[in-house]
Amino acid sequence: MDNPSDSVAAKLAMRDSIQGVPHPKIELFQLRNFIAPDLRADLIALIERDRRPSTIADDNGDSYFRTSETCDLDRDQPAVQRLEAALTQLNGIDPALGEPCQGQRYDVGQEFKPHTDYFTPNGPDYEKFCAVSGQRTWTFMIYLNDVDAGGATRFKVIKKTFQPEPGKLLCWNNARPDGSVNPNTLHHGMKVRKGVKYVITKWYREKPWG
């Protein structure tokens, strides 16, 4: 049976302005200027209004592993609806498979140490997070602003680093071609050295979100 993720990669590759990372271990794309300045400003305002300390699944006991702030964005907000529509047009993924968009805010010194976005199979929180909607498939991440220093996203295994740029989107497949999770997606939200970083993340699942 065809892997649904194959069609996502094919659709992304058809867009002229998108750049695929040529690496055999990962499906990873970059798209600059994905969303307009006014939408970025509206999303930043929503993050500022509703932010709270970030948490992680499969807590490893390191209280400094993820030090950012987070908010779940209300789908009824016009800015969120604009964002969701743009993502659907780009990737062709059924919106029913999407988690709510999440906003993150990183102040000076804050980071998300090297991690993967999928839930570790047979990990302590796997059933809790995957019983209904299944595993995470694709990640779509958007930088909302310039950062004075730091705040890059580094994919350690493939030795590729992306610097924050307003409106730049990164997306990657969290699975291998055989459907198993891909540890080569390990990435590090590096420390902000100066300024503040705002990011949007959208994750998709194997089954409808519920």
Q: Print pLDDT tens along the chain (210 aa).
A: 345 566 899 999 998 899 999 999 999 999 999 999 999 999 999 999 999 887 666 555 545 567 889 999 999 999 999 999 999 999 999 999 999 999 999 999 999 899 999 999 988 888 889 999 999 999 999 999 999 999 999 999 999 999 999 999 999 999 999 999 999 999 999 999 999 999 999 999 999 998
C-alpha 34: how far from its chain's center? Answer: 14
Distance CA 69, CA 52 (A): 5
Whether residue 184 lies inside any domain: the answer is yes
Quote the DSSP letter at residue 47: H
Predicted local distance difference test score (pLDDT) of residue 49: 94
Q: Is residue 178 one of the residues assigned to a domain?
A: yes
Does a structural domain hold residue 29? no
pLDDT of residue 43: 98
Give the Cα separation of 117 and 109 in Å (integer). Answer: 22
Domain range holding 190?
A: 4-16+44-204
**pLDDT at residue 16, rounded to an integer:** 86
pLDDT digits (tens, 9 = 90+) for 84-117: 999 999 999 999 999 999 999 999 999 989 999 9
Rounded CA-CA distance 28/20 in Å is 6
Q: Which residue has the tokens 């089954």?
A: 207
CATH of the domain at 147: 2.60.120.620
Tokens 């990164």 sit at which residue? 170
pLDDT of residue 3: 56
Residue type, 85: A
Residue 28 is assigned to a structural domain of this protein: no
Q: What is the model's pTM?
A: 0.93
Domains of the chain: total: 1
CA distance 65 to 137: 23
